[in-house]
Amino acid sequence: MVNLERKELLQYDISHDKTEKDVRFISKQIETHLRERFNVLLSTVEYGIMDGHLVREGTREPFINSIKRGRDIIQIISQNVIDFNRENAEVTGFEKIDSLMSNPEVPLGSKALSISLRGEKGSKYGHNFYDIFTLKERDGRRYVELLRYSSALKAQDYIERFGFDPDNFSKAEDFLANPIFITDVLITPEQIHKTLHKDHKYMTTSDFEEIWNGVQPAVKNYLFNRDANSFNAILNLADRVWDGFVDYVAYAPTQAMLRNLGNQPVRQAVGGCPGKSGADVNNSLFSVAEFSSLGKDRGYNFDHEGVCVVCNSGPKALGPCEICEECTIKIEKEEELGIAA
């Protein structure tokens, strides 16, 4: 029992929450943690199409430029060579998606699947997910919908499902650099997600909404206590709602019931990254694009406790515009990259 709880808690560092003042931020991290735990839809993004490139809403800049800029910045301020191939592959893969989805000859309903495995030991990239891009049309204008799903699959699972050559597909960069294009315009992203997880537990978005509604008593309890017992109660209650043992509509647990839930063994989620996410998402990146804005204001990305998400060590500085000692970036290097403010 102790080992199970300890392993699970290492996937969500509650120390981040103890000093966090924004309860909405904590609640969102818990929701993301549960979404990853149940292999469900994580987020939805729309891209417009302009001048032959995908662009984010409200911008004219090709999004591929943001990815390249983020790659260049992160490789300067965090010279961790273990991630370089992966970061370069992310650019290569999105270039292919950008080219396909912006082509006016490509049929509506075409899709691209980009697989992002968690990084090797020591990597900044601890999430396991995949993106499904779908070409759509609204009011006569084409756009691309991106759905990001959490995944419990490993490299071998993808190799078996798609018939990849294991000599060429073994690392995260192999998959990122080679997105899969799906020409069947009738198949839906949810069907793809279901097919990929045929041997793994996964959850639909509507089912997850029931789970999230059902754990609200435990979430409120955790926001008040912010301790290990209260956090484990959320995970255990989520499993019980999912298994049908708890009627989430009528459930009104007492404090004693929640404490008892928190004392129960915690199920370990399957996959290469069991239960990963939550507050530690601040120290684990999804994409190099998260760093693309740094060159515009010379800010650096700090989590809500002032811990630099790049180095995660050494002297800390509070506030989004302070620079910790390990992450100083020289102005001349910014100018060389063309990202100086």
pLDDT band at 201 (very low <50, low <70, confident <90, very high): low
pLDDT, tens digit, 9 for 90 and up, residues 23-62: 988 998 898 888 888 877 888 899 999 999 999 988 889 9
Q: Residue 247 pLDDT > 60, yes or no?
A: yes
Higher pLDDT, 162 or 269: 162
Neighbouring-strand partners of residue 182 = 111
* 156-168 average pLDDT score: 93
pLDDT of residue 76: 79
pLDDT of residue 52: 95
- Report domain extents, the chain: 2-38+205-278, 41-196, 293-337
By the 8 A CB rule, do 39 and 197 touch? yes
* 215-225 average pLDDT score: 94
Beta strand pairing status for 141-150 and 41-50?
A: antiparallel
pLDDT of residue 41: 82
Task: Count CB-CB contacts under 10 A for residue 104.
Answer: 7
Q: Residue 200 pLDDT > 80, yes or no?
A: no
The residue whose two tokens read 């754990």 is 215
d(CA 73, CA 85): 15
Q: Residue 329 pLDDT > 80, yes or no?
A: no
Task: Count CB-CB contacts under 10 A for residue 35.
Answer: 23
Helix (H, G, I), strand (E, B) or coil at 234: helix
pLDDT, tens digit, 9 for 90 and up, residues 255-293: 999 999 999 888 766 443 333 332 233 346 777 776 665
By the 8 A CB rule, do 135 and 110 touch? yes
d(CA 334, CA 113): 33
Question: Identity (one letter) of the amino acid at 341?
Answer: A
